[in-house]
Structure 1
């Protein structure tokens, strides 16, 4: 449910093809849209038909739809209701509102500036749903603190807003902004498992407010898009989602940081991927896209750690090996000889 996804015109019922793919998006979000129709005295039948959602599927507890179906019904509902907020706010956001917000931030020098502008402008349109960019040490958050209870629209409001701004952030910097986690101010719904598809990282419910969290270094990345790219974005027929981005422009730095700060917890790709909230396959693929490899990064970080410890401390070789992330002294000595041509002991005594 990114900016482009929510603004893509839905296909007509006559030309629509089966909207296939894995059904992972909770039907509960669609039921909230239906409530928006009912509040206006309008019939959602046409939008549901375009998204190929039957009345029986709509009522089925625990039902899910595909991402494509979600994009289609979102676009249809926004047009019919003339409300890109889908009934989540006190007043409708007319068609084009989110495009206007995106354009207003396009000339920002960095992602941090762009997101702060977007949040500030969104607050002018929907003051009861203010968003803010907050930084705490190495972690940045986009925080949603609702000023009124949206009732049954609470989930759609929080999920759609955070997914939208996350997708736009990734588009601005042409990079997947990997999330460290997300939180929501309501009890875990029946379909809580689906949140792992919508948001990376650990999910927390019953929180004080809604938020997504990510590495603060993303905020300093330059905005890489221009007006031509924006025009193309708003006209794309296919949805833009966060997961479309294979490239993560901070991944190499994040891998180095984890290898240096938690060497004992990152012996292999499985352990490292878990710490980065991704899969080993995705980790290897994205590193390849960045022209790097996990083994090369491990060697660079371990060699630097080991060299510093050998020259600046009196720790025994076994402890140096452990601190550098090796599981035993023998493998460390073999690796160090490969890096320097010397054993750790000889290197230290030179």
Structure 2
């Protein structure tokens, strides 16, 4: 299995520091990286330039060549080799999981069979899932940054591929000083990156863990024929988008009064918002109706506010249109619902 393309192709944005880390892997095994560098069209002069960058395609070609030539998918990071196919084995071992949470736990457990130099663990608290790396032995400083970054990228990329969805990260942390190429971290992970942290971590919404896997063995074989497609930017659909829209409609209704305003809060275009909701089998109007229904039921059950005030509070212009909609939702007029107290 080849390495993930770290960033968008065509632009030279992948730090040369990562290329030099691969060259250090060759040095560890007493081998010459010349052919690998040539396959990626990286000259020795470029390799020596401190602030140089390479494209994702160059980095992918270099990684694939190096992993096969060294027969080490860890590229020299660990105390023993991870033979060619090791990460493919991790993917296959997790593929039959019923949901993403189980898949991640299997990945973490099986990773220990490959190396004990680092440990991966999933923690969940307060609605946030965190994937954490524990360094069980000191990693060579020549490899440490590249090892921790790549290990999290592999994991994040596999997660996105497995559920066929972009997984938006809340934050990422790293246990080293911010490198000169720190600007590359936002495209790789999230703008919310913190350095000099206790451990390397990525955090995301816990609800992704409940999503079912969308891939099968055939899809896995196709994926493993090329670079592990963990370029996160290609996953434009977020399978939790509907839930995120619902939350904003409940908690920030005044700011999310139009599709354009809501799209702005989600950092997508209005067209993208409608398209992705359609792909999830819903629509903005459907979600608005669901939220209005939920809020109306809460208001009618828990308060004594006049029906007109309830109507305005949940987004209707007048009591008449609210009563008509509520009757369609529940089969009851708002006053009858309040008096009888039926379950919705």
The TM-score bracket by the shorter chain reads 0.7 to 0.9
- 8 Å contact from structure 1 (residues 336, 342) kept in 2: no
Instruction: Write the distance in 2 (CA, Å) between the matches of 1:169 and 1:175.
Output: 8
Q: Report the CA distance shift for 1:349/1:100 in structure 2 as closer, same or farther (over 3 A).
A: closer
**Which shifted more, 214-223 or 56-65?**
56-65
2:236 aligned with 1:253: no
1:265-318 per-residue CA deviation (whole Å, 9 max, x = no partner) reads 545667656765x43465454334324444553454245325533553256899
Q: Following TM superposition, by how much is the alpha carbon of 1:122 offset from its aligned partner in structure 2, in angstroms? A: 0.7
Aligned to 1:75: 64
- 1:49 is aligned to 2:38: yes
Q: Distance in 2 between matches of 1:193 and 1:335?
A: 51
CA contact (8 A) 2:307 2:319 kept: no
Q: CA deviation at 1:189?
A: 1.6
The corresponding residue for 2:3 is 6
5+ long unaligned stretches in structure 2: 327-332, 337-344
Deviations 1:48-107 (A, max 9, x none): 121122223222233222222221111111111111011121211111111112112222
* Residue matched to 2:329: none
Which of 231, 234, 251 in structure 2 is aligned with 1:244? 234
Q: 1:169 to 1:299 in 2, by over 3 A?
A: same
Question: Is the contact made by 1:20 and 1:68 (CA closer than 8 Å) also made in structure 2?
Answer: yes
Separation in 1, partners of 2:276, 2:43: 39
The counterpart of 1:170, out of the listed 142, 160, 169, is 160
Residues 1:190 and 2:180 are matched in the alignment: yes
Q: Would you say 1:137 and 2:126 are equivalent positions?
A: yes
Aligned position for 2:330: none
1:228 maps to 2:225: no
Match of 1:161 among 146, 151, 155: 151
User: What is the SS of the residue equivalent to 1:213?
Assistant: strand
Q: In 1, are the aligned partners of 2:3 and 2:227 still within 8 Å (CA)? A: no
CA deviation map 1:199-253 (0-9, x unaligned): 1352121111111111112212222322222222211368442222233222212
Change (3 A) 1:53 1:335: farther
Any unmatched runs of 5+ in structure 1? 9-18, 325-331
**1 CA distance for matches of 2:3 and 2:188?**
15
- Contact 1:179/1:201 (8 A) holds in 2: no
Task: Show CA shifts across 1:8-52 (max 9, x none).
Answer: 9xxxxxxxxxx9612222222112111111222222121112112
Once residues 318 and 290 of structure 2 are traced to their aligned partners in structure 1, the CA distance between those partners, rounded to angstroms, is 11
| Residue 28 (structure 1) aligned with residue 17 (structure 2) | yes
Greater Cα offset, 292-301 or 65-74: 292-301
Cα distance in structure 2, aligned partners of 1:323 and 1:193: 44
Query: For structure 1, which segment, 213-222 or 262-271, has the greater mean C-alpha deviation from structure 2 after superposition?
Result: 262-271
Q: Secondary structure at the match of 2:101?
A: helix
Distance, in Å, in 1 between the alignment partners of 2:300 and 2:73 is: 60
2:185 is equivalent to residue 202 of structure 1: no
Post-superposition CA distance 1:147-194 (Å, at most 9, x none): 233213121111111111111112222222222221111122222222
Partner of 1:117 in structure 2? 106
In structure 1, distance between residues paired with 2:311 and 2:19: 55
* Correspondence list, 1:317-336, <5 A: 332-334=315-317
- Distance in structure 2 (CA, Å) of the matches to 1:84 and 1:259: 45
Partner of 2:137: 148
